[in-house]
Chain A
């Protein structure tokens, strides 16, 4: 489904990763590991098409991702560091615009919020919510758009223990229903499915930092 071949990226004269190959099929999940500053976020953003400072091949359904951009965007759900929640708008208003921008009908906003224990919060402005609640609003988007691939950057940030295990359950369900999952997290994952890993630290140690 998503394939990367010989990816190379450097930032500020430092090689973040090189000769990085992997492929992610339907029903698989991969956790990107690495210490702070090892390039986990950069890698996810490159795969999303938000960062273009890389060399190498990224393929989506067998096609170069530049060619399949429209289909790729329609199939990917990305959650970044920033929650992408406007603090002046209410939870429902945020989600409604998100759905519109993805071109899907804003159907079950209330149900999506309820799935993240936010019953009755649809009309509360987001600035009145805690960081964890905002994160839940942000996560509720994954219930609203159909996506074959979830790319999640530190999805567990700010969630309480119960929220973490609930999210783990949802991620496992997604993978079991033939979804593809790519995520970074510092938290030890407890999922009911196999999780592959890409270890960026190991990659650099193995291949050396410079290769000129």
Chain B
């Protein structure tokens, strides 16, 4: 276990693991998304209340999950950066941030689209939408902070500190927004009933798209990390060999 973690901390090993796993990941992801989308859009029955409008959950729910998951992964990486000074953890944290932003934007966009038929307006100060907007701001803060530093090591540690501060704050922010929302809106979450209240035909495809999104996440993570690894390790022999091989092949 420790040996495995230690290996994972080596950029070269991570790069090669990524090379090996990418084809499998692509295959699984395409399969999961195809099944989920076709099943969800064509075969799942319409909802008795919302008709076909609910079908956006096949995108909305996974992106919401990803939005949170990305942040928690960044927090774990940040702890690794600060405590064990693992450089690979910073590469991964840096790679995840824009994926988290994309997930958050997808969640907001799909939520807004869903709002048009259910609420009659594309934006409503709903607790979840508001929290997600704030989450988006926090992601952007981390990305902007990283770009403000010249030194890579300082940037890594500064972003790690900010991520950890963010992860402590997020439950507090969500709780406060939830409270504020009930104060100002009363019962607001129209149409966003508990997912488990739906029949299984509706939510099983969501599993497929959900795992498909996780696959997409890992593909993005690996590609972006590999890029960053090549950039940071460009002076090492193994990267030079790799570049020589690639250019010879082309």
Interface residues of A (CB under 8 A from B): 13, 53, 210, 212
| Number of A-B residue pairs having CB atoms within 8 Å of each other in the complex | 7
Q: From B237, which residue of chain A is reached at the shortest CB distance? A: A212
Specify which of B153, B236, B237 lies most central, judged by the most chain A CB atoms within 10 Å of its CB.
B153
* A contact residues around B153 at 8 Å (CB): 53
Closest to B236 in A: A212
Give min CB distance, A81 to chain B, whole Å.
18
A209 to chain B: closest CB distance in Å? 11
Chain B residues close to A by CB (< 8 Å)? 151, 153, 235-237
Expressed in whole angstroms, the minimum distance between the Cβ of A51 and any Cβ of chain B is 10
Instruction: Give the docked Cα–Cα distance between A212 and B237 (Å).
Output: 7
Q: List 7 A-B contacts (CB under 8 A).
A: A13-B235, A53-B151, A53-B153, A210-B235, A212-B235, A212-B236, A212-B237
Query: What chain A residues lie within 8 Å of B237 (beta carbons)?
Result: 212
CA distance in complex: A53, B85 (Å):
10
CA distance A13 to B153 in the complex (A): 12
Q: Give min CB distance, A2 to chain B, whole Å.
A: 22
CA distance A53 to B237 in the complex (A): 22
CB neighbours (8 Å) of A53 from chain B are 151, 153
Q: How far is the CA of A211 from the CA of B151 in the complex (A)?
A: 22
Q: In the complex, which residues of chain B have a beta carbon less than 8 angstroms from the beta carbon of A210?
A: 235
Q: Which residue of B lies closest to A53 (CB)?
A: B153
Closest residue of chain A to B234 (Cβ to Cβ) is A13
How far, in whole Å, are A60 and B153 apart by their CA atoms in the complex?
25
A13 neighbours in B (Cβ, 8 Å): 235
- Cα distance, A212 to B235, chains bound together (Å): 8
Q: Point out the residues of chain A lying under 8 angstroms from B151, CB to CB.
A: 53
Task: Give, as a whole number of angstroms, the nearest-CB distance from A80 to chain B.
Answer: 18
Docked pose: A53 CA to B152 CA in angstroms = 10
- Give the complex CA separation of A212 and B153 in angstroms: 20
Closest to B240 in A: A212
Instruction: Give complex CA distance A210, B235 in Å.
Output: 9
Give Cα A42 to B153, complex, Å.
Answer: 15
Residue on B with the closest CB to A51? Answer: B153
Report the bound CA distance from A212 to B151 in whole Å.
22
**A212 / chain B contacts, CB cutoff of 8 Å:** 235-237
